[in-house]
Amino acid sequence: MAAPPLFLRPDRAFWRGRRVLVTGHTGFKGSWMTLWLSSLGAQVTGIALAPNTEPNLFDLADVAGQTTASHITDIRDAKALREIVAVANPQVVFHMAAQALVLDSYDDPLTTFSTNVQGTANFLDALRAAPDVEVAVMITTDKVYENPGDGYPFRETDPLGGHDPYSASKAASEIVIESYRRSFLDSQGVAIAPARAGNVIGGGDWCKNRLIPDAVRAWTSDTPLEVRSPAAIRPWQHVLEPLAGYLCLAEKLAAEPKLAGSYNFGPQTHEAATVRDVLTLARKAFGRGDIQWNEAAATRHEAGWLSLETTKARHKLGLVPRWSLQEGVSRTMNWYRQQNEGADAKALCVADIDAFEAAKSQERIDT
């Protein structure tokens, strides 16, 4: 069977005028997604808490100004969520709102579970009353898998699990998603798909306990970056890579609902890299920065190895990576350096989006 044609760029004709709902639009990935959708001509409604960092991309890039409506609302408020969804009456939804930090989940597990599990259930329940919704892309994480640390990339069919509260909450949210699919959304004609990606880098992320934001904070203040797990391996990718995957998935599901199901989005398996590798590239691109490598054992469990098998996305969606790890890191650090020197954040994002759409894929798909 022949593979689908490569996904070269989002279809502007598909997105122009389409009503799209994005939860978590005030966050790092949500802000980039909203800017991209707006540039494609979509009518975007956003639902999220207020940004939780200062600075933040949402404010710097005037993301609210790119939306049809921007709601500062907690997804744990089921009544408010239903009312917003009813007014927006979306055709496509991207659910990104989450408590997304592993270490924070240890500090506040109940908020993590209530946001990621009950909040997801609230959103899915609101979709039951949305008459025009066709596609729901539910962003979870690469950490939903039970991780024995055996060195094999995870496939979509591998068991779900989670040691830390964040990972467990996202795995639990996928069980909720599947239940709503079987019980309600399939019969309503909604094509729903969990999208699993993680370890995303790119300009405009200032969250704590994330590698690149921590590096930028340290190096711009001329202090050493302390690194707790230099040998940890992750599937690092520029933020535009998974976002392209989500857009591609939505387009494909609208045309072929039978493609619904979970999908991994990540770099080619051989490009999974250590923290040390990423920081070596980042320091070179940034032009300066001291690092203190800490080989001591971590006080809280974090997986030492994580990689994704992305064959399904390649062969079902025609999706292959655009930017190598080196290119992604370089563009990320250039974004921060230029923004720190006074460049406009929105213009920097738009320039990266344009460059990404114009880039050639790293590989071809064999039939």
Domains of the chain: 12-203+235-267+305-323 (3.40.50.720)
- pLDDT tens digit string along 316-358? 999 999 999 999 999 999 999 999 999 999 999 999 999 999 9
- pLDDT tens digit string along 154-168? 999 999 999 999 999
Q: What is the 3-state secondary structure (H, E, C) of the chain?
A: CCCCCCCCCCCHHHHCCCEEEEECCCCHHHHHHHHHHHHCCCEEEEEECCCCCCCCHHHHCCCHHHCCEEEECCCCCHHHHHHHHHHHCCCEEEECCCCCCHHHHHHCHHHHHHHHHHHHHHHHHHHCCCCCCCEEEEECCHHHECCCCCCCCECCCCCECCCCHHHHHHHHHHHHHHHHHHHHHCCCCCEEEEEECCCEECCCCCCCCCHHHHHHHHHHCCCCEEECCCCCEECCEECHHHHHHHHHHHHHHHHCHHHCCCEECCCCHHHCEEHHHHHHHHHHHHCCCCEEECCCCCCCCCCCECCECCHHHHHHHCCCCCCCHHHHHHHHHHHHHHHHCCCCHHHHHHHHHHHHHHCCCCCCCCC
- pLDDT tens digit string along 4-28? 888 989 999 999 999 999 999 999 9
pTM: 0.95
